Chains A and B, each alone.
Chain A
Amino acid sequence: MEKLIFEKSQPGRKGYQLPALDVPSIDPATVLPKTSLRTRLAELPEMSELDVVRHYTRLSQLNFSIDTNFYPLGSCTMKYNPKVNEQIANFTGFKLLHPLQPTSTVQGFLQVYYELERLLSEMCGMAEFTLQPSAGAHGELTGLLIARAYHKYKGNPRKTVILPDSAHGTNPASAMIAGYNVVTVKSDARGGVDLSALKAALNQDTAVFMLTNPSTLGLFEKHVKEIAKMVRDVGALLYLDGANMNALVGLVRPGDMGFDIMHLNLHKTFSTPHGGGGPAAGPVGVSQALTPFLPVPRVRKTEQGYSLEETSPLSIGKMRAFNGNSLILLRAYTYIRCLGREGVRKNTEIAILNANYLRVKLQDAYQVAIDEPCMHECIFTAAKQKPKGVRTLDIAKRMLDYGYHPPTIYFPLIVEEAMMIEPTETESKQTLDQFIETMHVIAKEAEMDPEKLKHAPYTTPVRRLDEVKAAREPNLRWKPSTTANKPSKAGVS
């Protein structure tokens, strides 16, 4: 393992040179109150540029990533992130723009906003999109606040949000912040919505039914139009968690299926890089009746060019400062323009094809959770390995030794010992075949030498971690040692 950067620090070393001060220097104590002045410098590292570059380059090499490894992490859509998106997002004409510049000086970026909203609306069959939310969960909260504002406008905000028990954890958490109680309904045998359970739960207090389609089991919800009608009949709204849109783009439009609100995860379906946990973007699309409630500002196209509409009487307001994660939105815009009409559909088809190929090729070695054609991801379990005492976790950890990032494990919660595999469309048949071969080797190891799996991985930079210790004795930061690092008095060099 690499030392901490603080442990490499050398007094007096610098990694960046500021220009010499060219205005008269002043003593801060003459212009700021004494109580406002910092007396001890923060113990930041003291390193040369090379020290810093080498430290973090070496750290980066301890990561698996899409650029280095096959990453079939279900529900996360770890597709390749084309480099041209990065190139364009780094153009100074975008990167250096201040969010409050006069609109006449940012017409190009406003055009990107405007056109991206139109592209997403068309692909999803929604009336309009807001690009403001910073991530998927932020989009969920935005969508639910829009629903609440809509119901309130109609006279009653209503009380509950209904979710299937297979839902992502962010759904109930977002519903609580939006001021709703959460009602969970059981899924049917194939992990779909149990229509009678839903019917029993729906009533005049229901504000929203949130649905992930394809479900978190990777299966298309066949009864979606019936569900939409049931939800509409009690005056509630149907929300699509768009985490799995990579299975639908170009084939089916959520708006056509009866969804009133949806969010997209641009860092999944539209290929913006995940960055080890963000930044992301979670645009929200709505049907016509809900457009007055969208957050502000809205980008408008006028005869004089693009403008920002700052206020709107029924809007829920702002979800964050400024406009949105603009440079992420620009990457997604570039991606969609590259793919175009034919490309988006073709990608979806290959994503579905790849997942089904893995489903068929792996099912002799691993128990498939639901035996029917899947969409963009498929769920296996460790049922066949269980008699040997091998769990999903062990299989996942062994995959690391072979250079594969494991699938999403233990989700959805309704499948015991779940392994959720999503290959995405950007992987070749050769990569999939190698993966299949490895998975068979691991299955054989589980049979012949189960202990080997229980202690895997062996070849990674670190091995299994003591997570209990991490939680029981939280060590969340480095601290300067009192002897080695005497507090430095603040002064100006």
Chain B
Amino acid sequence: MLAAIGVADFKELVKDLPLSQKDLNIPSGLSEGEVVRLGLELGSKNQAAPRLLSFLGAGAYDHFSPAAISALMSRGEFLTSYTPYQPEVSQGTLQTLYEFQSMICELMAMDVTNAGMYEGASSLAEAVLLALRETGRKKVLIPQSLHPDYKAVLSTYTLESGTQLIEIPYKNGQLDMAFVAKNLTSEVAAVVVQNPNFFGIVEPTEKIAPLAQAAGSLFIASVNPISLGLLTPPGEYGADIAVAEGQSLGIPPGFGGPFLGLFACKTKWLRKMPGRLVGQTVDVDGKRAFVLTLQAREQHIRREKATSNVCTTTALIGSCATFYRSLIGKQGLRDVSYQNLTKARYAFDQLTQIPGVRAPFNAPIFNEFVLQTKTSPDVLQQNLLKRGIVAGLPIKKWYPELENASLWCVTETKTKADIDLLAKTLKEIL
């Protein structure tokens, strides 16, 4: 090949490069067998189910994931294709993403949705950026009970635009509506509501839209898609934009990623939204076909005037969520949602009967709840871990006013026996 190129040796091809003179200080290569062994060793230094029984939620959830999902996502045609810029040979990805968009619109009762964002927190940040851009205002109301990571990401994204993030206090775990009514003024670009909120509590979402409309502010809802089997979808309570972390739709928790950002909105904001959109059209023979569309919003066309810098996001994870919803089906999603509610309620009732455990809020929950314990949750976590149980997440660092509080999650994957074991163990060590 060198001869065909017309050079004597490889170095001639890179003669303009200031080549490094010393070898990289990284290990020598491993054979496949060796690297599998390394992977097994590293994996065994972690503890996952079934070795651990975990009651962690807080934005990443343990749900059943049908076997067909990983089988389908490992197909090379989905796994190793690029962004579908050549629609003639990408109808597989494009139609799947069109079905993805259709299912998200159905689930959220929203007009339009894009083909996916990175993950929930940055998806919320993009929604807030849209509101800031479109209203030209500088204030944003966010709940004090918003997921702390989402708050942190919002603050990173808006830090340099002179945006003021105003926290709505919580009252008995829910939004302080008097505060919202007073502060949702014509200076506010958007009001953000997380439902269920970080405490797992269902918010009075129906009260927000009239206030937001009166102020000319956008109403941004951040929701948990699994809860939408039971809970009113954001489109029905008047959200302008609905965002979500889609991980609960059959995606493994994977130590935090890759996850799936969802972004849906009213048609009004269609041409202002970030991310990719798949549309239906026809080919020259009149056959139905799908294509990336409305690309004039995007960075590769509009450059610094684009609605977002988003390029590659999470098409494959969006496909997984599509497989999940197809397998679980119309009634199935409702049933999963229902099991989450009933099991979390059962656990809540069992645990709050234990001496030394109390619930700080008396408000409706979905699949998570806050408990206060007489022992510090960090100590509790250590003690339960010795018995193979991962306790709820200590939340003191974000909510110091809630003494000894922790956030517990119970999904459909927990059996009555699991919950009873937790209750029994907790009783013993408290």
Contacts and interface: CB of A to CB of B under 8 A. Distances in A.
B59 to A, nearest CB: 6
Nearest to A181: B304
A391 interface: no
Nearest to A141: B309
Contact of B329 (A14, A141, A344): A14
Nearest to A94: B43
A105 interface: yes
Nearest to B79: A273
A275 B48 contact: no
A98 B390 contact: yes
B121 A318 contact: yes
What is the interface residue range for chain B against chain A? 35 or more
A137 B309 contact: yes
A169 B364 contact: no
Contact of A276 (B42, B45, B82): B82
B88 A340 contact: no
Interface residues of A, number: 195
A460 B245 CA distance: 35
Given A475-B279, A490-B334, A36 B202 contact: yes
Contacts of A248: 17
Interface stretch (A196-204, A324-332, A437-445): A324-332
A2 B325 CA distance: 19
A274 B2 contact: no
A69 B119 CA distance: 30
Interface stretch (B184-192, B282-290, B421-429): B282-290
A12 to B, nearest CB: 8
Interface in B1-31: 1-2, 4-7, 10, 12-14, 16-20, 23-31
B326 A42 contact: no
A300 interface: no
A463 B284 contact: yes
Interface string B40-66: 111111111100101010111010101
A321 B161 contact: no
A321 B282 contact: no
Interface in A11-50: 13-16, 18-19, 21-26, 28, 31-33, 35-39, 41-47, 49
Contact of B82 (A76, A170, A323): A76
A328 B336 CA distance: 28
B82 A465 contact: no
A245 B216 CA distance: 47
Interface string B303-334: 11110111111111101000101111111111
A65 B79 contact: yes
Given A73-B82, A141-B309, A340-B26, A277 B276 contact: yes
Contact of A38 (B29, B45, B233, B323): B233
A65 B24 contact: no
Given A465-B283, A471-B293, A476-B278, A276 B316 contact: yes
Contacts of B155: 317
Given A94-B46, A135-B118, A275-B78, A455 B255 contact: no
A78 interface: yes
Interface stretch (B94-102, B164-172, B351-359): B94-102
Contacts of B89: 62-64, 69, 400, 405, 460-461
Contacts of A274: 80-83, 312
Interface stretch (A81-89, A232-240, A283-291, A380-388): A81-89
Listed from nearest, the 9 A-B pairs whose CB atoms lie closest are A93-B43, A340-B29, A67-B76, A275-B316, A322-B256, A108-B45, A99-B256, A279-B258, A277-B315
15 contacts: A23-B419, A55-B326, A60-B77, A93-B40, A94-B255, A99-B256, A274-B81, A279-B314, A324-B256, A326-B257, A334-B39, A342-B28, A375-B14, A400-B86, A469-B281
Given A52-B327, A88-B36, A325-B256, 15 more contacts: A14-B331, A22-B415, A45-B330, A55-B326, A64-B77, A101-B56, A250-B20, A275-B316, A275-B317, A278-B116, A320-B118, A325-B257, A340-B27, A357-B4, A461-B88
